[in-house]
Amino acid sequence: MIRIGQGVDYHQLVEGREFWLGGVKIDHPKGALGHSDADVLLHAICDALLGALALGDIGTHFPDTSADYKDIDSKKLLHQSVEMVWEKGYRVINVDSTILLQAPKIKPYINHMQLIIASILKLSLDDVSIKATTTETMGFVGRGEGISAQAVVLLERNMEE
């Protein structure tokens, strides 16, 4: 049996915050505002993983009202999310994601992001797709006020289960 999950996340960009994306710290004058490190890409993947098995969303499992998750590294959230998938007897086949961001250009960081995500999800590099696009200066992304990410995952029930 296979399952598909889709996730999306948005965060405001503000000065004075570190900018984390795909588990990589990127040098930029603005960072994403949030309770955790506000890594929109990892959050979207978490939601896709959880959604594929109807396990709720990232806010259900890691509420922004809990001090336990204040400034938490989102790689930990991704690891905990995929552990829930494994506990249900599924494995991740692949991830396809898109980041919507006007600046900075993230192409130089994509390979490092893929390595981090593939390592956590126990995938090969070829199974983690990360794409990026601008909004051609339109909307909150285009004005540099925010960032968004979308992710889709494919899960398969383990045959030995």
Pick out the chain residues at pLDDT < 50.
Answer: none
Whole-number average pLDDT of the chain: 95
Instruction: For the chain, give every domain's residue range.
Output: 2-156
Assign 17 to helix, strand or coil. coil
Look-up of token digits 């049996």:
1
Token readout for 65 is 């009202």
Spatial CA neighbour of 99 closest among 75, 127, 128, 133: 133
Quickly name the fold that domain 2-156 has.
60s Ribosomal Protein L30; Chain: A; (3.30.1330)
Handedness of CA 157, 115, 70, 59 (dihedral sign): negative
pTM higher than 0.85: yes
Predicted local confidence at residue 161, as pLDDT:
52
Q: Which regions of the chain does DSSP assign to beta strands (E)?
A: 2-15, 19-21, 24-26, 30-32, 90-100, 128-133, 146-157
